[in-house]
Amino acid sequence: MPEPDGGELGPLSSSPTPPPSYPLRHSLRSPLSPRVSLCWCRGNSLRVSLFSQPASEVEFGGEVVELKLNDGGDGEISNAQWRRIAYGSVSPFAMLQSRRNSFSSLSKINSSPYHLEWWEYVMEYSKDINSLLGNPKSSKNSLIEDPKTFVQKSEEPTCLKAAWELMEMFYADKLSQPWLPERLVDWLADYDSLFARAYGTVYSKLLNFQNELINLQVIEDDPRYWEVIASALAVGWLEIVVKLLRLHGSYQLDQLSNREAWEKWRGQINKLDCSAFWIQCHHVQTREGLRNLLQIMLGNMSSLSAATSHWLELYISHFLYVRPFTAGLESMYSLAQRCIQLKPMSNSHKLMGVMIGILGENTEVVLAESSKEFGPWMAAHAIELLTAGSDEAEALLREERYSLGEISLEELHRLVYAQVLSSHALSWQIAPVYLSSCLKQGMGLLEILLYRQPVPHKELLLKNLEICRLYELDDISSNIMKMAGVHHWKHGRKGSGVYWLQQAQDEFRLNKIAQLLFGSVGKSISDESFKQWEGLIELLHSESKAAGGLEFLLKYRDFKRLLQQIGDGKNDVAAQQAVESLMLLMKNPSTPQRFWLPLLNDSLKLLNWQDRPLLNVSQTNLLLNKLQELSIARLRPHFVKPDFPMEALNSVRLSLATNLGRAILEE
């Protein structure tokens, strides 16, 4: 039983030897300063800043290089394909999780006739995922059969698909359990081509022979012909065997026309072996070839071994001829070990680790190998198959481990996969689906992921907030809106800034903004700025709770508008309205004292009205009293000098006095 290497498994496995060294390629020609700077950006991307030596004569002072970790793979699956698989996996995964949540509550209540077994849901999930993993094996039967084509060179399957189907077969498909050896025979028929490069295969032998056919006059004279028939027979590819036999020179059209005839022939094997046919057959190759085929069917070990190329093929042939289809999992494993001994693996292959782990019923090894050979996607998604396999497997994968920070292996692999998804601008949005299924650390990682999305970009911001809403992350949402608000405010888009700060309910900053607006009181501002200032007050007032101060600002705004309407001093009506407004403001106890002088200063135009005095005696007296209050206040020790020129005091006093005189004369 293969043992895990000192407990170091999975994506975080390491070796006790020094870590592997890789080149970090850059394009700087000058010698580098050893001082290297780095920053993690987006998931598993590491940006490294390299600097040239200070003294060197260079075009560039340095370069920033981005390393995408965990992104390698052996190129079996292209990036575009991986993205398709990633996007396509989201729905099945999410569906399964929601089914799991409802399943556990339902199963306690009742078992209705419409209620599927859990493994059936897992199978549905598995089929959905499987359909994403490369093209389905094209049918071997074409309409017009070319007798010289016994092996179809169809689209190359992937190891990923092969591994997935293997796990589905052994863990999820409960209906398959009694038929595992048969299923394995079919599996090898589909995927034998994958082993061609590492070991020889029956598949490649067949393909090579097929290519040679044109050069052969008498097929049955060539020893390879009998070899390939023997090999195809050994692994149970009977259709191919039949096709090959039909190529024999002696074949008559009506012989071996269907499977039944073949079965009958098989049933008479022993009789054949002793029959007189052998003496009558003069063609040596045919005689020897056919005898060998019989030996294969009788389960002769050396014949089987000669006909097969690697241990898996030998293994399959065992199920067909030595111990036909009667093997439990334990004996399957010991048989596998024997086959490996008989045909040791000269090279390693991606699928072998997984296969041996599965046969050895070692869940941890299966998970570790899947992760190592096929990456984080596989680990995260195949765990669903593994947990359906057995209660022990489920317990192992769901056990919370202190060493991992009190999360399970299941959660760990989902987190790792989510981080891989976060590494790409096009796939980060699907990470939340996986993170929400991680009960302990999922939300923490999601929070960090969301905070690292750029705020100025509108679509991303909205997407980000949408995710917050979906997962009820109000605090994060509010912080992100705060960031947006500050960004827009500082970059000149004050309206947007206020809008986002209001959405974030950031009273602190909104109050500061209101205070800024107060700063405009009494100052002359351009029409353009006034519009903006007006707009901001309107925006702020619509939602802000700082009612008192804003009430004043609103009235002041109205007052300013009236002043504008007066224009060049002719509009009597507007002027009178402005005066009313001024009086209201000055009488209002909530108007801060520091604004009295600015208000009066603004109103100089009104006070110096040409045609007639706009203020009557009592109004003027009120204002003079206010001015007096202000003068006394200046003498008090704690008086804070307002940000306003005090010479204005004199001009206001003068205007008021003049106005008083004129008003008295009027009355």
Partner 1 sequence: MEKSVLKLDKGTTCTAWNYCGQRLAAGSVDGTLSVFDSPDPASSSFSRSSSVKVREVGISKVVWVPPEYGDAVACIFEDGNFSIWEEVAEDSLSVQWKLCEFFKSSSSKVLDIQFGVSPTSLKMVAGYSDGSLKVFELTNPLELKNWQLQAEFQNVIDSVSTFGKASCLSASISWNPVRGEGQESSFVMGFNSDTPQLNSSKVWEFDEAHQRWLPVAELALTEDRGDRVYSVAWAPNIGRPWELIAVATEKGITIWHLNLSPDADGRLPVERVALHSGQEGEVWQMEWDMSGMTLATTGSDGAVKLWQSNLNGVWQGQATFLPTC
How many C-alpha atoms does 83 have within 13 Å on its Cβ side? 11
Nearer to partner 1, 73 or 299 (CB): 73
Among 1, 26, 98, 612, binds partner 1 (CB under 8 A): 26
Nearer to partner 1, 153 or 401 (CB): 401
Nearest-angstrom CA–CA distance, 66 and 224: 53
Question: Under rule CB under 8 A, how many of the chain's residues touch partner 1?
Answer: 101
SS3 (DSSP) at 52? strand
- When asked if residue 360 is in the footprint of partner 1 (CB under 8 A), the reply is no
**201, 338, 373, 378, 593 from 421: Cα distances, Å:** 37, 42, 18, 13, 59
CB of 64 to partner 1, least distance (A): 4
Scanning residues 389 to 448, which ones bind partner 1 (CB under 8 A)?
A: 401-407, 409, 415-416, 419, 422, 425-426, 440-445, 447-448
Interhelix angle 118-130/376-389, nearest 10 degrees: 150
CB of 540 to partner 1, least distance (A): 14
CB of 444 to partner 1, least distance (A): 3
- When asked if residue 147 is in the footprint of partner 1 (CB under 8 A), the reply is no
Return the amino acid letter for 99: R
Nearer to partner 1, 166 or 510 (CB): 510
Nearer to partner 1, 60 or 278 (CB): 60
Nearer to partner 1, 289 or 442 (CB): 442
Which residues, other chains included, contact 604 with Cβ-Cβ below 8 Å and sequence gap of 6+?
Answer: 651, 652, 655
Among 267, 454, 592, 645, binds partner 1 (CB under 8 A): 454
Nearer to partner 1, 453 or 620 (CB): 453
Nearer to partner 1, 476 or 627 (CB): 476
CB of 235 to partner 1, least distance (A): 38
- When asked if residue 34 is in the footprint of partner 1 (CB under 8 A), the reply is yes
Nearest-angstrom CA–CA distance, 67 and 46: 5
Nearest-angstrom CA–CA distance, 365 and 409: 13
Scanning residues 157 to 176, which ones bind partner 1 (CB under 8 A)?
A: none
Which residues, other chains included, contact 118 with Cβ-Cβ below 8 Å and sequence gap of 6+?
Answer: 103, 388
Nearer to partner 1, 323 or 457 (CB): 457
Nearer to partner 1, 9 or 238 (CB): 9
What mask of x and - would describe binding to partner 1 in positions 477 to 516, judged by CB under 8 A? --x--xx--xx-xxxx---------------xx--xx--x
Place of tokens 């996969």: 417
CB of 452 to partner 1, least distance (A): 5
How far from each other are the two terminal CA atoms of the chain, in whole angstroms?
A: 115
Scanning residues 36 to 75, which ones bind partner 1 (CB under 8 A)?
A: 36-52, 54, 58-69, 71-72
Buried b (16+ CB within 10 A) or exposed e, 580-598: ebbeebbeeeebeebbbbb
- When asked if residue 28 is in the footprint of partner 1 (CB under 8 A), the reply is yes
Which residues does residue 47 pair with via DSSP β-bridges, in sequence order?
A: 39, 66
Tell me the torsion sign for CA atoms 13, 14, 15, 20. positive
Scanning residues 200 to 219, which ones bind partner 1 (CB under 8 A)?
A: none
CB of 81 to partner 1, least distance (A): 18
Q: By the 8 A CB rule, do 342 and 314 touch?
A: yes
CB of 405 to partner 1, least distance (A): 4
Tell me the torsion sign for CA atoms 435, 438, 441, 443. positive
Question: Which one of the spans 26-34, 355-363, 391-399, 649-657 is the region binding partner 1 (CB under 8 A)?
Answer: 26-34
CB of 94 to partner 1, least distance (A): 21
What mask of x and - would describe binding to partner 1 in positions 459 to 478, judged by CB under 8 A? -x--------------x---
Q: By the 8 A CB rule, do 498 and 536 touch?
A: yes
